[in-house]
Chains A and B, each alone.
Chain A
Amino acid sequence: MSIIPDKPPFKILDILYKKEFILFIVLISILIINSNITPYFLDLYNLIDSTFLFSEKAIIALTMTFIIIARHIDLSVASIIAVSSCVLGYTTSLGYDTWMVLLLTLFSGALCGAFNGAIITKFAIPSIIVTIGTMSLFRGLAYSFLEDSYYNKFPKLVSNLGNGYLFGYIPYAFLTFILLAFVFAFILHKTSVGKKIYSIGNNPDAAQYTGIAVNRYTFVLFTLNGLFSAIAAIFLSGRLSSVRPNIAFGWELEIITMVVLGGVYIYGGSGTILGVVISIFILGMLSFGLGLLNIPGVGIIIFTGLLLILSIGFPSFVRTLRRKNE
């Protein structure tokens, strides 16, 4: 009788074939190229400050990873940031206590997310369509509320969070992202909740039959995504110290790019937090390097779009070719 191991034995060569390893190599080469091209890149303070460029997006990318693994997508995150930032500015202008302001901001984000989740689960409508609708609904609410004015007064704590450093070195937004990344990696890879999210993404119907409350999971994931958008909104408003209704415009694309480039399959069921974290650093360092080279933001947008399409298109194209050869 042969013994079938429930886990294949660990081989050092297997690491080479992992997506995370390839991503890691890409990251290292970007760092090397960047530091060769411009002498300002390897400056410690520059590197620390460069995290401000992506920390807020990265925080949302964590919950977006869960959502995409569960075979959903949320295009409304950037609009939720707009709503939450407005709530932040408005409650401050009413003279509320700082904690009350933060609480209401977080609540507004979670409420928007819950709204998405409720429509998706209650009416069984694909999340992409619902969030296309709420993307303009939420952004529109921010516009109709602020019109052409803006908020520039926030509690001191918010400005500190957005611009400050812990011990003078680690930006709060970056710290939050790293801590949350550990929590999310633990939940996704080490708990039954994570396993259930994978199985929902692989086959929602089968997951339902095995007794997973698919709808409840979906609802909670979208609510969480809204909540995290509100967290990002607090950091972002504090950093920019001004809120206009077009705040974070187009971020949904960058956040989805972070997740998909990190090896999360867009139709659900596979992907790791480690891959997403590495891809966040790749994109962050890339745009930081391009910025140092004085390439305008538009160049970075085009580059992100190309990267997004090619990162999915190239592997699947190779797969098709290989299948034809067989």
Chain B
Amino acid sequence: MKKFLLNRDFILFIIICIGLISVGFANPLFITPSSISDVLTDTSILIILALSQMIVILIRAIDLSVASNLALSGMLISLLSTVHPELPVYYFIALSCIIGTILGVLNGVSIAILKVPFIVTTLGTMSIYRGLIYFVSDGKQVYSSEFSEDFLALIHFKFLSLSFLFWLAVAVFIIFYILLNHTRFGRNLYSLGGNPDAAKYIGINENKYIILAYSISGLFAGLCGYLWVARYSVASTQIAIGFELTVISACVVGGISVMGGVGTVLGCLLGALLIGLIRNALPAVDISQFWQLAISGAIILLAIIINTKTEQRKEKTVMVQE
């Protein structure tokens, strides 16, 4: 029982509840069902991206290019939809996913085959992909009136008064839960992150997993490209700029260790929910939006310090037991 209470995920859950209640005291409108449903919808894209980022962080890497990838895939399908509005929506979704996956594979190949350190690769592709948006769009925006109705309709579909985005995030969560906990792929990812050398000796192909992890990250970035553009019904060169930091902070707050091999899918989900709650609660308690960047920076630092402290303490106890 004590172990359960001290469980990191449980503590995070309590923090989220306390946060929700205290914001509710300051602004009762915030905890009405419709408002909470809005928060969930708003956080769905973050949840999906945080889960796919988690796979990359598990193998001791980071994908800084997700936001640029999202924006580029989103822009490309938006441009296509202005030229060919008659195409069905699933066509755009599939295309967005394919573009995202290709961009992700490029990252993976650069890291695994060309041996360019992940930080250099993804910093580089972050600006390359972002720059390409200007090239394909000429710096112009695609406005809501230019999208076909079909393109935007799916996002407004509701089930049990919760949005399509939310249900999609739930589905992605279940997929990742099974993938990481009940498949060989997931086990191998954890072992690669926990001890890359040992993993190589037992025959895990590191390069294959690096490319796979980055293509999964790219795939979901592409998917979110469609979701983002459809939800905000605008595609511009600036969309989701800096969002990669929010995604990383969600993972870090969720207890995914940047040293690799540690972290749960549930923790990642709760981390994303907490960040989403904070982002939505700030305007509700009258804190200027300009503080958001500073606050997410402070949260990353705080979470990372707490994570490292607990990890170091665990290492110490292991040594004492031996």
Contacts and interface: CB of A to CB of B under 8 A. Distances in A.
B174 interface: no
B245 to A, nearest CB: 5
B205 to A, nearest CB: 15
A250 B305 CA distance: 26
Interface string B78-92: 000000000000000
Contacts of B301: 119, 130, 133-134, 137
28 contacts: A125-B304, A128-B62, A129-B252, A134-B297, A137-B298, A139-B297, A140-B290, A140-B292, A140-B297, A141-B294, A144-B290, A144-B293, A253-B123, A266-B117, A296-B134, A298-B131, A299-B135, A301-B128, A302-B135, A305-B124, A309-B110, A309-B114, A309-B125, A312-B114, A312-B115, A312-B120, A313-B115, A316-B115
Contact of A143 (B116, B128, B259, B294): B294
Interface of B: 62, 110, 113-117, 119-121, 123-128, 130-132, 134-135, 242, 245, 248-249, 252, 258-259, 288, 290-298, 300-301, 304-305, 308-309, 312
A133 B300 contact: yes
B121 to A, nearest CB: 6
A203 interface: no
B127 A133 contact: no
A169 interface: no
Q: Which 4 A-B pairs have the closest CB atoms?
A: A140-B294, A137-B297, A140-B293, A313-B114
Given A119-B301, A309-B124, 15 more contacts: A123-B308, A132-B62, A134-B301, A136-B245, A136-B293, A140-B293, A140-B297, A141-B294, A253-B127, A301-B128, A305-B124, A305-B126, A309-B125, A313-B114, A313-B116
B135 A312 contact: no
A157 to B, nearest CB: 30
B131 A301 contact: yes
A243 interface: no
A128 B258 CA distance: 10
Given A119-B301, A316-B115, A137 B294 contact: yes
B124 A308 contact: yes
A138 interface: yes
Nearest to B296: A136
Band of interface residues on A: 35 or more
B127 A304 contact: yes
B291 A123 contact: no
Contacts of B116: 309, 312-313, 316
A119 B290 CA distance: 25
A124 B120 contact: no
A202 B130 CA distance: 34
A306 B124 contact: yes
B121 A144 contact: no
Contacts of A312: 114-117, 120
Contact of B119 (A73, A141, A143): A73
B128 A147 contact: no
Contacts of B248: 132
A320 B116 CA distance: 12
A128 B127 contact: no
A139 B113 contact: no
A126 B258 contact: yes
Contacts of B300: 129, 132-133, 136-137
Nearest to A141: B294
Contacts of A253: 123-124, 126-127
Contacts of A267: 117
A128 B62 CA distance: 10
Interface in A105-164: 119, 123-126, 128-130, 132-141, 143-144, 147-148
Nearest to A146: B290
Interface string A272-300: 00000000000000000000000010110
